[in-house]
Amino acid sequence: MKTRVGIVGAGPAGLLLSHLLHLEGIDSVVIESRSRQEIEATIRAGVLEHGTVELLRKTGIGARMDREGFVHEGVYLRFAGTTHRIDFKALTGRSIMVYAQHEVIKDLVAARLEAGGMLLFEVKDAAVYDLDTAQPTIRFHQRGKVEELQCDFIAGCDGFHGITRPSIPSRMRHEFTRVYPFGWFGILVEAPPSTDELIYAHHERGFALVSTRSPQIQRLYLQCDPNDELKNWPDSRIWDELHARLETREGWKLAEGRIFQKGVIAMRSYVVEPMRYGRLFLAGDAAHIVPPTGAKGLNLAAADVRVLSKALTSFYKSGNEQALKDYSATALRRVWRAEHFSWWMTSMLHRFHDETPFHHRLQLAELDYVVTSRAKAQTLADNYVGLPLE
């Protein structure tokens, strides 16, 4: 098989890249180790930045998002028993969309298949070769047969645990990592929304987040031990912790319901530089990870592939390689901004295991500054709704 761009991974990065390239008349093949059903059912991110929303709309895949997603014009910060709103619309003129990642995936898969796109699911043992030549290759097994895909370029969109990043010689990889000493215990609940916008809560017992998925389904998170096990969290303990961490002086009420999914998410910051080796370009979680506090993971994946698709388009339309040469530096500028924002939100809102009363007071002072200084609130709002796309 031959294609112009071979894409490893059908997550948001790989599918959106394939879609953007298709709109420019550039053919690609996406290979994915999981089944279509699995990728369409994996619950992950839920907040889309303004720029991501606009990109989906402009490229013809925003219709269901506009019908079923929720536009939020702010978020609540809750600390010391009081709730404060950060008004995105007033501060930036922009807003965010709450629309689940697996719904974005469904929309992208449908659009690619409708356009006759090549998506190969359930491939095994993918490996990439000849990355520093003009014809890199992807080899994989499908239905018991060895397949070879010859490409002009390969996009490594296979997430943090994929095979493309480790295929770059280690001497060419500069890695930056921070592992946080806590995780998030996430639940999905059958209940009506308890709030019209997301609530980020700072509490002595640890962080909590109230988010939504639909008028019937809510997504709630609690800071927990990163190695915690589900069996340690019977429903009664989850509700007790959520009530304790979210209670306010005004008597705010959390709507309870049947918990139908539980999971622990580890928290890590990670970046590899550069995001290119020869004709392999990394995008999304394959190149960087953020803790979910800033809601940036999915949005960074979209921003990367937007830059990459423009660079590949420029190459195919004019033969000019400059944008491809600039890809890593251009993408990394936004990546590090998001890394900083995610680290800042995480540091400000979570309880650290070695936290002293002094540190706790500093967090409260910072939160108080965010909700009373227009400049500081603007910083949070600008970053949360997302800087304009390149």
Q: Given the residues 200, 221, 277, 327, select the one marked as catalytic.
A: 200
Q: Which residues bind ligand FAD (CB under 6 A)?
A: 8-14, 31-34, 39, 44-46, 101, 123, 126, 157-159, 162-163, 265, 284-286, 292, 295-298, 301
Instruction: Tell me how far, at minimum, the Cβ of 360 lies from ligand FAD, in Å.
Output: 25
169 is catalytic: no
Instruction: Tell me how far, at minimum, the Cβ of 47 lies from ligand FAD, in Å.
Output: 6
Nearer to ligand FAD, 68 or 355 (CB): 68
Distances (CA, A) of 219 to 193, 197, 205, 350: 9, 12, 19, 18
292 is catalytic: yes
Nearer to ligand FAD, 296 or 334 (CB): 296
User: Please, which residues have CB within 8 angstroms of residue 251's CB and are 6 or more apart in sequence?
Assistant: none
Instruction: Tell me how far, at minimum, the Cβ of 32 lies from ligand FAD, in Å.
Output: 5
22 is catalytic: no
19 is catalytic: no
DSSP string, 262-314: EEEEEEEEEEEE-SEETTEEE-GGGTEE--GGG--HHHHHHHHHHHHHHHHHH
Tell me the backbone φ, ψ of residue 315, rounded to 5 degrees.
-65, -50
- Distance between CA atoms of residues 342 and 291, nearest Å: 6
Q: Given the residues 72, 203, 310, 350, select the one marked as catalytic.
A: 72
- Distance between CA atoms of residues 231 and 243, nearest Å: 20
Distances (CA, A) of 207 to 77, 186, 269, 284, 323: 11, 12, 18, 26, 41
Instruction: Tell me how far, at minimum, the Cβ of 188 lies from ligand FAD, in Å.
Output: 12
Nearer to ligand FAD, 119 or 157 (CB): 157
Quick check: helix, strand or coil at residue 37? Answer: helix
296 is catalytic: yes
- DSSP-assigned letter for residue 228: -
- DSSP-assigned letter for residue 47: E
Which of 290, 348, 281 minimizes the C-alpha distance to 321? 281
Q: Given the residues 136, 288, 292, 310, select the one marked as catalytic.
A: 292
Instruction: Tell me how far, at minimum, the Cβ of 74 lies from ligand FAD, in Å.
Output: 18
Q: How many CB atoms lie within 10 A of CB 300?
A: 29
* Catalytic center residues: 72, 200, 292, 296, 384
